[in-house]
A = this chain, B = another copy of it.
Amino acid sequence: MSVFTTVTAEDLGPFLKRYSIGSLLELKGIAAGITNTNYFVTTSHGRYVLTLFENLTADELPFYVNLMAHLANHGIAVAAPVANLADEYVDELNGRPTLLVQCVPGTVVDKPSAAQCFEVGEMLAQMHLAACSYRGEMKNPRGADWWNATAPCLFELMSAADAEQLRAELALQAEQCFDDLPRGVIHADLFRDNVLLNGDHVGGFIDFYYACNDVFLYDLAITLNDWCASESGDVNADRAKALLQGYQGVRVLQANEIAAWPVLLRAAALRFWVSRLYDFYKPAAGEMTFAKDPWHFQRIINAHAERQDFWL
């Protein structure tokens, strides 16, 4: 559950006085999310989500919250941050840095349709273009440097065959050079549970706390690996084609992107294979959550390695 820091209506009274969003009607903890504390805050003006950051510090937040505000100002479906009377998005409550955002309409969809994948692809491309005028910079904290540094402590804990395959995947990616591919700000974690869908429409992309500067196509690959793959690692061709069509209706892929696409799909799976292996073998002290299945992403890599058609 995701309420790590308790907030009462009494705590919220003076906090809301620093905003222009009316008076409190209802306060309700949100039981999703595993990193931060989240509450629904309903006021006389509307419905908001209040996040108390449990790990990120106030210094680290501007890249993410200014990005969300930038995207909202460009009409991208994201939860728009609300500034306080001091004209700051980040405030503080009960010893934690906080962010208030407008509620976005919609729900998480576990089994998306091709039409929904099309809309997600379109909004992702629009987000990539709208973020081109964003001035913040953030290195990918889960890029090649990270996985090359993290994997060695995992090899001895894995089966010999898995360790061999992981070494081979790392070596394959180390041979690549993506420097010429179009890049900019990416979401980097656009799984189904980070998108609220309102019917077929994108109500909002949420959880931008892995956003960073990297290759656009890598973001599309991360998205496809989650939105279009089944539990067995198999990719549904209709959904994959729809996602790519939605994306390319806004931003057409270049020749060098099409050439890099098969290996970027594997890179996008590798990143989550390694992070899930790490969470599985090296759980943080006191962590109570169930680690997600790392081998799901190994199966996706296997499926991509055997593939002839990449839906382009």
Contact = CB atoms under 8 A, between A and B. Distances in A.
Contacts of A84: 74
A233 interface: no
A100 B127 CA distance: 18
A23 B122 CA distance: 10
A82 B77 contact: no
Contacts of A77: 45
A206 to B, nearest CB: 17
Interface bracket on A: 35 or more
How many copies of this kind of chain does the complex include? 2
Contacts of A120: none
Interface in A92-148: 100, 102, 119, 122-123, 126-127, 129-130, 132-133
B74 A83 contact: yes
A129 B21 contact: no
Interface of A: 19-23, 44-46, 48, 69, 72-77, 80-87, 100, 102, 119, 122-123, 126-127, 129-130, 132-133, 201, 249
Q: Considering the complex of A and B, which 5 residue pairs feature the smallest CB-CB distances, nearest first?
A: A87-B133, A20-B126, A20-B130, A21-B75, A75-B82
